[in-house]
A and B are shown apart, each in its own frame.
Chain A
Amino acid sequence: MTGPEPLPAPRAGREVYRDTIARLLGKDDRLVCLDSDTGLFTPVDWGADADRYINLGIAEQNLMGAAAGLARAGRIPYVNTMATFASTRAVEAVKLDIALPGLPVRIAATHSGLSAGHLGATHHSLEDLAVMRLLPNMTVLAPADAAATEELVRASVDLPGPVYLRLGRGATPDLPADLPPLRIGEAQRLREGGDVTLIATGPYPVLAALEAADTLATEGVGAGVLNMHTVKPLDTEAVCAAAAATGHLVTVEEHWAVGGLGSAVAETVTGEGVPCRVSRIAVPDHFAAGHGGQRHLLLRNGITAEAIVEASRNSPSRRQFK
């Protein structure tokens, strides 16, 4: 029986990262892959580069300190742990050993947001954007699909200073093809729209923003969509331009409302004095409600296209500021 080739199964961000880093390691002696017994690299055959894959065990403070030592010696360490361990358990080592001297350590943080799903509050990471963007010298990247993950991992190699790569656990759908090029520090414009601008980061938030924009279009509301894959340094120019053009920004993130992308956007527009309303679609100020997989938890905690539509329509402030 013949037929069209089946579409390739969507790949998990962390697996794309793993495969990319395994390829890069063979081409660049500076790279070292430092693991904290995540199990992510079990399928990899490192071949001649096996000495540069180093599993330091379940010890995240030492993981970050050792990465700093390797970076001091001229290496570019890719450090692997879960997002919540990187941003809470090991954060002092990240702050003092890595961010303070501005060393080129790349923190590959898996299981971010609610992607750990059933594993619960101990494994959810709803604080990492806030913590990491707080640190001077840090670049914070959050790819929204497999292709972007590979691109950002490759681009991260020669970035100055430390980098935090926010990765999910499981596979997520790909974004539509033929997107504008991905440039670190620049918002990726996915849709034009003059009534409201949706600013989203990470796979499901960006997908939800695109779905919401479609719905809003049927209601005659023009919603622009910005994929904010770089949370720090934030593309303040794009944020302010969107605020000035539409008067209403709706931020979408798989993160607590406190301190994340929405906070960064609000700080920007108030600091720049651009009058607008900022609505934040994020996990409210409580530990994630419900129990289940990532999509279920997103639904239970209000990170949905419906919530974005609701926040975007009938906004008196939108008319007021325009």
Chain B
Amino acid sequence: MTPSEAAELRSRAHRVRELIVDMCANPEGGHLGGSMSMAEILVTLYHGVLNLDPAHPDAPDRDLLLLSKGHGAIGLYAALAERGFFPEELLATYNRPDSSLTAHPNPAVPGVELATGSLGHGLCVGVGLALDMKLTGSDRRCFVVTGDGELQEGSVWEAAMAAATHRLDRLTVVVDRNELQITGSTEDSAALEPLADRWRAFGWHTIEVPGHDTARLAEAFRGAPYAPGTPTAVICRTVKGKGLPYIEGQARSHFARLAGRAHKRAAAVLRAQAKRSEQPV
């Protein structure tokens, strides 16, 4: 990936963060922290990796992105709008009565593959999709984006065992490793570390990358599969609430209602960051 491509992805991730912050201004609020942490992951996949066409969201040969951490819906909606699946204006309807933009991903929205929200479902469905890819000899790919707290669900590891056993190399799991769940560190409730070793022990080719570095993310995603018959795990080290320094790395960023001054503050902070990044180095 060229430096200019990486910069373009950074700028898209920035736009996605602005859209996320705007959606959190609705009266019901939104899952802010975990949406902000995966902005680079989603734009890198949608703009730099996946073979898909927003004009034909159901094309049978498309690559698949399943957002298993369904509470990241606003991050997904923002990324889909940025990719051109639907106009940005639709985002303003988020959480309004009878809007298609529900607080967890709604498959009626173009580009949304799966209704998620209950954690631990996406990788199992990904196993089935990858089994079909194996049966048909397809070179499509399936990326399943999970949270890290989500990995406490046992079903994830049922799927992990099956994917390695059945040699599902079209399948990649992307872990948004922001280290936090609702009450605090993942290591305080049901510890995940050493996380990379765990995926390796389950038979997955495992890579750890800085999760806000679009060039490194693209390199990791594009390289899959790394070994014939081996599924890939990309553990992305991210910061929950990334982009808003006053909530970064804090569990309280998990859910927020950014009304009035709170929204103005967040939007201003993001604007200032954009200005700084535009200045020549």
Contacts and interface: CB of A to CB of B under 8 A. Distances in A.
A54 B17 CA distance: 42
A307 B175 CA distance: 58
Interface in B89-137: 107, 115, 118, 120-121, 123-133, 135-136
**What is the interface residue range for chain B against chain A?**
20 to 34
Contacts of B127: 56, 62, 65-66, 69
Contact of B132 (A74, A92, A97): A74
The secondary-structure label for the interface of chain A is helix
Contact of A66 (B107, B125, B133, B135): B125
Contact of A61 (B124, B132, B136, B165): B124
B131 A65 contact: no
B270 to A, nearest CB: 34
B131 A69 contact: yes
A97 B126 CA distance: 11
A68 interface: yes
A52 B127 CA distance: 14
B247 to A, nearest CB: 31
Interface residues of A, number: 28
A48 interface: no
A34 B80 CA distance: 33
B209 interface: no
Interface stretch (B151-159, B181-189, B222-230): B151-159
A59 B162 contact: yes
Contacts of B135: 32, 51-52, 75
A70 interface: yes
Contacts of A57: 158, 161-162, 165
Contacts of A97: 121, 124-125
Contact of A65 (B115, B124, B161, B166): B124
Contacts of B121: 65, 92-93, 96-97
A256 B209 CA distance: 53
A73 B154 contact: no
Given A61-B154, A73-B132, A93-B124, A66 B115 contact: no
A121 interface: no
Interface in A72-123: 72-75, 77, 92-93, 96-97, 100-101
B161 A69 contact: no
Q: Which of B118, B135, B166 has the largest count of A CB atoms less than 10 A from its CB?
A: B135
A68 B66 CA distance: 13
28 contacts: A57-B158, A59-B161, A61-B124, A61-B155, A62-B124, A62-B127, A62-B158, A62-B159, A64-B124, A65-B121, A65-B127, A65-B128, A65-B159, A66-B127, A66-B128, A68-B125, A69-B130, A69-B132, A70-B131, A73-B132, A73-B133, A74-B60, A74-B132, A75-B132, A77-B128, A93-B121, A96-B118, A97-B121
Interface of B: 60, 107, 115, 118, 120-121, 123-133, 135-136, 154-155, 158-159, 161-162, 165-166
